[in-house]
């Protein structure tokens, strides 16, 4: 204890001494400099050790702050294993030559915005084994040369999705041993391409030993140069939310790494499924069926197997509006002609991304992408369209850009079919295109009819093209990205069972870069903008995204979506509300019944377990209409004192998840004890 009290004053003493010394030394130096311009170097601040003039070692010195007066020319600093609990916003200023900074094994719990802003040469930063909780937009500002960043073994819960924007030199990111639960798809992107595509320059990413249950596919798809990805020791939910994983693994073989450790069975530690229960102990990359299926209460005789219920919820892609408009004037050598006005939907797939650092200030990135074009047609147009483009439903027509027709308000070009590439199916297709955004009109494009998605009223075309852009890294450093995330942690109540007539509340917990706009979509498809209040205030949405209902009715049951928007970014979370009648059992056909007998007054033990993907939550509805929610991972047995014997179905077990539920009644008959 005393040593703790002594330390600061000692420290202060050192710094004061050092400051005094520095002034004197500076004076001497300045005098010397006139005489001997090249020989001088500033002294080593106490209590550090400087093996070389540009190197400062201060490990295991019980330091409480970064030493003051670090020489300006220093290139390497090691302050590992001290008791530094703060980095001031000027502690590291003017260290423009610094290339390596290690402050691992300290007590740093937060970093002031811009703490590193002067460290323009820093290539490696190690803040492992500290107490950081959050990395925001400004935490890493200025680290434009940073290639390796070690943030492992902190307490990070949130990384702002724009934290790494502009850090285009970053290749290695160590985040093992934190508390990350959820990551925005753009989290690790270091530059933005055409203002639309988020791309990461990372090659090595360590996310092991966090509390992640899922990952968005874009997160890895937008890291074209990823070589190593570590995901072990996270509680992965192996359901349809991560079904992309298999395809990604196939196209990026060997990128996912297991931790090598001879002490472990098999010699390695791989990412494992933690739920649903039937997938436990299966390796994530070996999991065969990453699907979602309805809950099924385990019972004696069941013949039906759970059905996939993957497509039954909408995703954020379904809520994104079109990104632009395109008009197409189609004609061919047979004299067929047709004009279409269409909307351009948000990018569907990025098939290929590549980037290359040309020099310190420029990257070149190429991407291949496709957009969905939807055009409304009438019967007459549909027939024309059929003649012009039906050929191009199995394979695309390759079109080359020709003369420009107009520049204002949007550019318009003539495209002609490439007779060499399309030698087999050549119809002399000509297309006048006017598009917004203009970058859709590249020198060559492919146009294809999406036959399965087309109807006589709405035609769906696919436009595929390659984009190339030279990215100015300095511009990227100044760019601000807007983003929004809806918290979906294990404590987020997304599935609810509510007794008819009771109140209910759903909370959409947001993190974002600015003022998000929240909307709720109800089971009937109607949308409520926050803030909202229905007549008589039965249903209301507060500004912070809370949806409240005063008395739930049968029509309230179903799937709800919270939709949050900030500029271009959108996040969606679905909720599922089921209603329980207070008296009668619900009118369900497939309800299953378990009967049992018990002595009045004896404790009873009820069992209910369900399978499904993801795991179902078990809710017990008790005789008093009280509802007890057992989290998916806990015991499925409820022990309840049978002090209120009821001869009908008084105990209901409801297994619910995402979009479905199943319910079973437990019927009791009380037995009179023989010996009394």
Ligand X SMILES: *[C@@H]1O[C@H](CO)[C@@H](O)[C@H](O)[C@H]1NC(C)=O
* Site residues (vs ligand X, CB under 6 A): 89, 114, 211, 322-325, 354-356, 364, 366, 368, 436, 444-446, 464-466, 468, 490, 631, 633
Is the CB of 325 or the CB of 502 nearer to ligand X? 325
**What DSSP character marks residue 203?**
S
CB of 577 to ligand X, least distance (A): 20
CB of 106 to ligand X, least distance (A): 20
CB of 669 to ligand X, least distance (A): 35
* 204: exposed, middle or buried (Cβ count in 10 Å: 0-12, 13-18, 19+): middle
Is the CB of 145 or the CB of 325 nearer to ligand X? 325
Is the CB of 633 or the CB of 637 nearer to ligand X? 633
Is the CB of 211 or the CB of 282 nearer to ligand X? 211
Is the CB of 44 or the CB of 212 nearer to ligand X? 212
CB of 676 to ligand X, least distance (A): 43
Answer whether 97's CB lies under 8 Å from 65's CB.
no
Nearest to 161 by CA among 198, 197, 187: 187
Is the CB of 299 or the CB of 492 nearer to ligand X? 492
Nearest to 357 by CA among 471, 468, 186: 471
Cis preceding linkage at 247, omega within 30:
no
CB of 14 to ligand X, least distance (A): 23
CA atoms within 13 A on the CB side of 560: 28
Answer whether 301's CB lies under 8 Å from 592's CB.
no
Give the CA radius of gyration of the chain.
Answer: 32
Is the CB of 315 or the CB of 468 nearer to ligand X? 468
SS3 17: helix
Nearest to 662 by CA among 615, 601, 598, 610: 610
Q: Strands 458-472, 527-529: parallel, antiparallel or unpaired by DSSP?
A: unpaired
d(CA 65, CA 79): 10
CB of 301 to ligand X, least distance (A): 32
CA 406, 407, 408, 412 torsion: positive or negative? Answer: positive
CB of 377 to ligand X, least distance (A): 17
Is the CB of 460 or the CB of 642 nearer to ligand X? 460
Nearest to 375 by CA among 311, 462, 294: 462
Residue 169 phi/psi, 5-degree rounding, is: -90, -10
Residues forming beta bridges with residue 434, ordered by sequence position: 327, 412
CB of 370 to ligand X, least distance (A): 9
Answer whether 353's CB lies under 8 Å from 218's CB.
no
Is the CB of 237 or the CB of 594 nearer to ligand X? 237
Is the CB of 323 or the CB of 414 nearer to ligand X? 323
Nearest to 523 by CA among 502, 536, 506: 506
* 583: exposed, middle or buried (Cβ count in 10 Å: 0-12, 13-18, 19+): exposed
d(CA 649, CA 541): 36
Q: Strands 430-436, 412-417: parallel, antiparallel or unpaired by DSSP?
A: antiparallel
Is the CB of 365 or the CB of 621 nearer to ligand X? 365
CB of 644 to ligand X, least distance (A): 29
d(CA 149, CA 228): 15
């Amino acid at each position: 204890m005393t040593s703790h009290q002594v330390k600061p004053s000692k420290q202060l003493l050192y710094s004061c001494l050092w400051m005094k010394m520095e002034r004197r030394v500076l004076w001497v130096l300045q005098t010397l400099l006139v005489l001997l311009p090249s020989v001088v170097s500033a002294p080593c601040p106490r209590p550090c050790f400087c093996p070389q003039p540009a190197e400062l070692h201060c490990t295991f010195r019980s330091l409480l702050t970064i030493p003051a007066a670090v020489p300006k020319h220093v290139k390497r600093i090691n302050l590992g294993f001290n008791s530094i609990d703060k980095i001031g916003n000027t502690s590291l200023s003017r260290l423009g030559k610094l290339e390596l900074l290690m402050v691992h094994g300290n007590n740093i719990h937060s970093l002031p915005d811009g703490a590193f802003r002067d460290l323009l040469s820093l290539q490696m930063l190690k803040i492992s084994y500290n107490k950081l909780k959050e990395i925001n937009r400004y935490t890493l500002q200025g680290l434009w040369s940073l290639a390796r960043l070690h943030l492992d073994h902190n307490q990070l819960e949130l990384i702002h999705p724009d934290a790494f924007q502009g850090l285009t030199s970053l290749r290695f990111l160590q985040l093992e041993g934190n508390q990350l639960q959820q990551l925005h798809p753009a989290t690790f992107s270091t530059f933005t391409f055409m203002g639309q595509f988020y791309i990461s320059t990372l090659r090595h990413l360590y996310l092991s030993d966090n509390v992640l249950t899922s990952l968005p596919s874009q997160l890895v798809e937008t890291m074209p140069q990823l070589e190593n990805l570590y995901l072990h020791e996270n509680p992965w939910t192996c359901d349809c939310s991560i079904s992309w994983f298999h395809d990604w693994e196939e196209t990026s073989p060997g990128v996912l790494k297991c931790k090598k450790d001879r002490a472990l069975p098999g010699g390695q530690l791989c990412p494992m499924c933690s739920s649903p229960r039937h997938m436990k102990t299966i390796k994530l990359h070996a999991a065969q069926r990453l699907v979602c299926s309805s809950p099924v209460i385990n019972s004696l005789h069941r013949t039906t197997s759970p059905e996939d219920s993957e497509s039954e919820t909408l995703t954020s892609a379904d809520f994104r509006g079109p990104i632009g408009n395109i008009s197409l004037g189609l004609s061919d050598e047979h004299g067929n002609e047709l004009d279409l006005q269409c909307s351009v939907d948000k990018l569907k797939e990025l098939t290929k991304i590549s980037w290359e650092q040309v020099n310190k200030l420029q990257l070149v990135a190429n991407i291949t992408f496709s957009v969905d074009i939807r055009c409304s047609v009438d019967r007459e147009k549909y027939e024309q369209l059929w003649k012009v483009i039906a050929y191009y439903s199995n394979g695309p027509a390759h079109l080359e850009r020709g003369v420009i027709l107009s520049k204002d308000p949007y550019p318009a070009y003539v495209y002609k079919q490439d007779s060499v590439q399309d030698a087999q199916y050549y119809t002399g297709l000509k297309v006048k295109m006017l598009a917004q955004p203009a970058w859709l009109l590249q020198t060559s494009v492919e146009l294809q009819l999406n036959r399965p998605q087309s109807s006589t009223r709405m035609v769906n075309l696919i436009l595929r093209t390659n984009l190339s852009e030279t990215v100015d890294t300095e511009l990227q450093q100044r760019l601000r990205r807007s983003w929004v995330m809806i918290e979906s942690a294990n404590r987020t109540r997304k599935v609810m069972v509510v007794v008819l007539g009771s109140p209910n509340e759903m909370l959409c917990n947001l993190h974002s870069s600015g003022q998000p706009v929240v909307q709720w979509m109800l089971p009937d498809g109607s949308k409520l903008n926050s803030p909202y209040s229905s007549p008589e205030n039965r249903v209301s949405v507060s500004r912070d995204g809370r949806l409240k209902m005063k008395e739930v009715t049968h029509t309230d049951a179903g799937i709800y979506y919270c939709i949050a928007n900030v500029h271009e970014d959108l996040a969606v979370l679905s909720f599922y509300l089921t209603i329980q009648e207070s008296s009668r059992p619900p009118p369900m056909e497939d309800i299953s019944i378990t009967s049992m007998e018990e002595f009045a007054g004896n404790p009873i033990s009820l069992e209910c377990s369900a399978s499904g993907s993801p795991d179902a939550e078990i809710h017990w509805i008790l005789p008093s209409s009280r509802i007890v929610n057992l989290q998916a991972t806990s015991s499925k047995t409820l022990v309840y004192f049978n002090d209120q014997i009821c001869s009908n179905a008084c105990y209901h077990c409801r297994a619910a998840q995402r979009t479905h539920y199943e319910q079973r009644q437990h019927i009791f008959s009380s037995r009179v004890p023989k010996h009394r």
